[in-house]
Structure 1
Amino acid sequence: MLENRIRVLIVEDEAVLALDLGEMLEKEGYHLAGIAHNGRRALELFREQPVDLVLCDVQIKGDWDGIETVGRLLAIRSVPVIYLTAFSDKETLERAKLTQPAAYLVKPVNPVNLQISIDLALQRFNLGAARERLPEKDTFSREAILRIEDSIFIKHNYQFMRIEVEDILFLEADNAYTTIVTSDKKYAIRMTLSMALNRLGIIKLVRIHRSFVVNVRKIRGFNDREVYIEGYTLPMGKQFKEDFMRIFQIQ
């Protein structure tokens, strides 16, 4: 599901390092949005296609260094940024801070540190800067879910796929995405869990945790800490228990 993978733009003028980073990202399941060897090419790629995250070397050749390049990208739209750096002086780091990067990654890069930095960047962005772009994401996702009676249609592989509400087991948050889980398939949509729940507007779907929404008709059992749904054990958040019990009793 290419359109549901996190799209990463690499801005790096060392060709070997850029290619290595691209391979690492694709092995980890990310979509490589492109490799730019200078700021102007980065700006072109950023304008041409959706980009969810930017990996940018602080020192790149060309008219703009990495920091100025990032500033120009962020002037178009807000995305999380990870700076790549081997070494930088204090003045350069102070300039970098002004662009509010989500993380720094020291070269040479290894897959473990890369994954940790990306996870950290996405988490920080979703907790902080993402609040400012929620209206934009909502606009982007308006047509990701359509509802008709007891069915929904979600965009999957460039077409709308039908899912019966009764077949939904639960929804799971995954950073800026929501995964809809049925008994035999999983569908990822580029929409936060809260947005997906609001768009669906189905009373049978109840939030039990900051990362999970369940279909109450599929619950096999529950206790104070967990909810059991057809082979899945999901956590119950204390702050959601009261609402869960209230809606459950209505059913």
Structure 2
Amino acid sequence: MKMQILIVEDEAVLGMYVSDLLEASGYQVVDVVDNGREALSIFQQQHVDLLLCDIHIRGDWDGIETVNKIAEIREVPVIYLTAFADRETVERAKQTYPSAYLSKPVRSDNLKLAVELALSNFARHKSVGISLSEQKTVDKEAGKESILLADDHVFIKNNYQFVRIPLADILMLQADNTYTHIITPYQKLTLRQTMSGTQEKLGFASLVRVHRSFVVNLKKITGFNDREIFIGDTVVPLGAQYKDGFMSFFTSR
């Protein structure tokens, strides 16, 4: 599932240019709007994973006030886009805890870096509670995050960008030597991490280890017997040493 970005920029040519760059990088642009009130309306109607907002925009709200209004609904990583700003504006912007800044003129490489930095900083800020609701970051190594949690979904770094996956959509994890495959109904993402480490970092209680090579989402199981677990048409082995732990999640009446 592509990460969805809302752009707030009153220079129409620049807004479309940034939109094209993002979509060429594999992201989905929800909309490009030129004022805060329209941005708020779009945010209320559609899912937005990241907000890219110019500080100086049209309308009675500037970018900073727009971000404040949006944060009252739900906090998301914010990238401020600006050519220049006076000290007072910078101080106001800092009070909204932006995840990254992007200076004009915008270049493709700087834009990609800003998006990645914004997601990383947003998760890290949430983990220490800086003006944000309690949140867990699942990888503490600065600059090396490959898994970032945000509410009920997770961002997985894949081919130099982060892909959003709702935690509830994960079917299973599969170990492959030093790699782990995260399998959903619509894609398979591969991380260079151990399966146990990936399971711990995801922190999703429904994920249960059932074999040395498999972790399954209990809520996706369609059936099981003494040796196998069924998730739709997929058959997963049930290891003897994991059977008691697996069965402990069920109660009989």
Tell me if TM exceeds 0.5. yes
Matched, 1:37 2:44: no
> Secondary structure at 2:31's aligned position in 1?
strand
1:150 aligned partner: none
Aligned-partner SS, 1:198: coil
What one-letter code is carried by the residue in structure 2 that aligns with 1:198? A
Determine if the alignment matches structure 1 residue 144 to structure 2 residue 158: no
**Quick one: structure 1 residues 68 and 195, their matched pair in 2 at CA, closer, same or farther if it must change by over 3 Å?**
same
1:63 CA displacement: 1.0
- Seen in structure 2, the aligned counterparts of structure 1 residues 36 and 56 have a Cα distance that, compared at 3 Å, is same
Measure, in 2, the Cα distance between the counterparts of 1:73 and 1:79: 9
Corresponding residue for 2:223? Answer: none
Shift of 1:138: 3.1
Question: 1:143 offset after TM fit, Å?
Answer: 3.8
Instruction: State whether residues 102 and 114 of structure 2, in contact with CA within 8 Å, keep that contact through their aligned partners in structure 1.
Output: yes
Q: Give aligned pairs, total.
A: 178
Q: If each structure's helix is expressed as a fraction of its own residues, which one has the higher value?
A: 1
Shift of 1:13: 0.6
For 2:62 and 2:120, the matched residues in 1 are separated by: 26
User: What does residue 183 of structure 2 align with?
Assistant: 180
Structure-2 residue corresponding to 1:113: 110
Post-superposition shift, 1:216? 6.9
Q: State the alpha-carbon separation in 1 of the partners of residues 118 and 167 from structure 2.
A: 25
Residues 1:51 and 1:202: Cα distance change in structure 2 (over 3 Å): same
Distance 1:87 1:123, change over 3 A: same
The amino acid that maps onto 1:180 is I
Q: Which runs of 5+ in 1 are unaligned?
A: 146-153, 155-162, 173-178, 206-214, 218-246
Change (3 A) 1:197 1:69: closer
**TM score, norm. by length of structure 1:** 0.62
Identity of aligned residues (%): 42
Using the size of structure 2 for normalisation, the TM-score is: 0.61
CA–CA distance in structure 2, aligned partners of residues 119 and 104 of structure 1: 12
| 1:102 aligns with one of 96, 99, 123 | 99
2:68 is the counterpart of 1:54: no
- Structure 2 stretches of 5 or more lacking a match? 137-149, 155-165, 191-197, 216-241, 243-253
Amino acid at match of 2:211: K
Matches of 1:203 and 1:23 in 2, distance apart? 44
Q: How does 1:89-238 map to 2 (within 5 A)?
A: 89-129=86-126, 132=133, 134=135, 137-138=151-152, 141=166, 143-145=168-170, 154=171, 169=176, 171=180, 179-180=182-183, 186=188, 194-195=201-202, 198-204=205-211, 215=213
Q: Deviations over 1:209-239 (max 9, x none)?
A: xxxxxx279xxxxxxxxxxxxxxxxxxxxxx
Amino acid at match of 1:186: K
Distance 1:139 1:17, change over 3 A: closer
